[in-house]
């Protein structure tokens, strides 16, 4: 083992991971529904668990307003340091429902962002503390839940090894258009443990392509 390999082994042995507690600078766990991992920074490992929806512990109590076509800044605390894609989904809060408490079950989610790695002698991901996610310019105005996740793939070569770090933010979209969402999916339901972007050895042989799990990404 060389020093680099030892460092990698030490990093993956760390049990504390990360959370996604903040959007657009709102105080932690206000415009983001407080997640079950808020203290232990843990992950969801079972894609069939209801925790894959929002990993929710408590309702939200704030909403951030964002113009359609502009970005939401999603903060990862401290940093999405495990390799893997960041993905974002939206679900429109139905008329008459409370953005703080609506439970987004069923096929209500459409994907708006799916990170692809850079390919080379290893896969390179953003692995950032902040992700700027563009809200499509053509969607209808109104309140939405925004499900943000980072899927850590460092031990994803065995089934159930991928680690899902996620939370659901509460946003109000202004402006926009009237294009209907497409390719709606449910959580759980959207992912299978055997999906090629979830059950994958990213280390050897180093992949030359990556198939994001989930539906097609919505475009205007
Ligand atoms: C909002 O929710 C968070 C997390 O549950 C809580 O810590 C905070 O006290 C709440 N704020 C208000 C104003 O209710």
Which tens digit of pLDDT belongs to each residue from 54-98?
999 999 999 999 999 999 999 999 999 999 999 999 999 999 999
Atom of ligand 1 nearest to the CA of 60: 2
Q: Is the pLDDT assigned to residue 142 strictly greater than 50?
A: yes
Atom of ligand 1 nearest to the CA of 59: 5
Q: Is the pLDDT assigned to residue 148 strictly greater than 80?
A: yes
- Mean pLDDT for 148-164 is 98
pLDDT at 144: 98
Distance from residue 31's CA to the centre of ligand 1 (Å): 10
Residue 139 pLDDT class (50, 70, 90 cuts)? very high
The protein residue whose alpha carbon is closest to atom 12 in ligand 1 is 61
Contact residues for 154 (Cβ-Cβ < 8 A; gap 6+): 12, 82, 83, 84, 163, 202
Q: Is the pLDDT assigned to residue 2 strictly greater than 60?
A: no
Residues 33 and 102 sit within 8 Å (Cβ to Cβ):
no
The protein residue whose alpha carbon is closest to atom 7 in ligand 1 is 29
Distance from residue 150's CA to the centre of ligand 1 (Å): 24
Torsion of CA 115, 179, 69, 185, to 10 degrees: -30
Q: Output phi, psi for 118, to 5 deg.
A: -90, 140
pLDDT at 164: 98
* pTM as predicted: 0.93
Cβ of 61 below 6 Å from ligand 1: yes
Q: Is the pLDDT assigned to residue 11 strictly greater than 80?
A: no
Q: Is the pLDDT assigned to residue 1 strictly greater than 50?
A: no
Specify which residues 19 forms β-bridges with.
Answer: 77
Residue 9 pLDDT class (50, 70, 90 cuts)? very low
- Mean pLDDT for 158-165 is 98
Cβ of 50 below 6 Å from ligand 1: no
How many CA atoms lie within 13 Å of 106's alpha carbon, on the beta-carbon side? 6
Domains of the chain: 16-174 (2.70.50.70)
What is the best residue among 38, 60, 61 to mutate for testing ligand 1's pocket, by most ligand atoms within 8 Å of CB? 61
Cis peptide leading into residue 169 (ω within 30°) = no
Cβ of 148 below 6 Å from ligand 1: no
Q: What is the mean pLDDT of the chain?
A: 94
- Mean pLDDT for 15-20 is 82
pLDDT at 163: 98
Cβ of 130 below 6 Å from ligand 1: no
Residues 152 and 82 sit within 8 Å (Cβ to Cβ):
yes
Residue 13 pLDDT class (50, 70, 90 cuts)? very low
pLDDT at 6: 40
Q: Is the pLDDT assigned to residue 50 strictly greater than 50?
A: yes
Residues 93 and 169 sit within 8 Å (Cβ to Cβ):
no
Cβ of 217 below 6 Å from ligand 1: no
Q: Is the pLDDT assigned to residue 16 strictly greater than 80?
A: no
Residue 2 CA: distances (Å) to CA of 5, 6, 8, 170? 5, 6, 10, 45
Distance from residue 149's CA to the centre of ligand 1 (Å): 22
């Amino acid at each position: 083992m060389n020093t680099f390999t030892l460092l990698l082994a030490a990093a993956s042995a760390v049990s504390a991971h990360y959370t996604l507690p903040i959007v657009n600078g709102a105080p932690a766990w206000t415009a983001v529904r407080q997640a079950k991992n808020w203290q232990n920074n843990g992950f969801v490992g079972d894609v069939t668990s209801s925790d894959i929806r929002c990993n929710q512990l408590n309702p939200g109590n704030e909403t951030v307003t964002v113009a359609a076509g502009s970005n939401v800044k999603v903060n990862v605390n401290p940093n999405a340091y495990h390799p893997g894609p960041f993905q974002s989904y939206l679900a429109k809060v139905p008329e008459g429902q409370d953005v703080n408490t609506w439970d987004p079950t069923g096929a209500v989610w459409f994907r708006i962002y799916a990170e692809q790695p850079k390919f080379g002698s290893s896969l390179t991901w953003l692995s950032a503390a902040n992700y700027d996610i563009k809200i499509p310019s053509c969607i209808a105005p109104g309140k939405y839940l925004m499900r943000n996740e980072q899927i850590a793939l460092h031990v994803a070569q065995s089934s159930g090894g991928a680690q899902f770090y996620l939370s659901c933010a509460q946003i109000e979209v202004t402006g926009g258009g009237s294009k209907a969402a497409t390719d709606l999916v449910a959580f759980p339901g959207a992912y299978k443990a055997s999906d090629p972007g979830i059950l994958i050895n990213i280390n050897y042989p180093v992949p030359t392509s990556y198939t994001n799990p989930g539906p097609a990404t919505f475009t205007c």
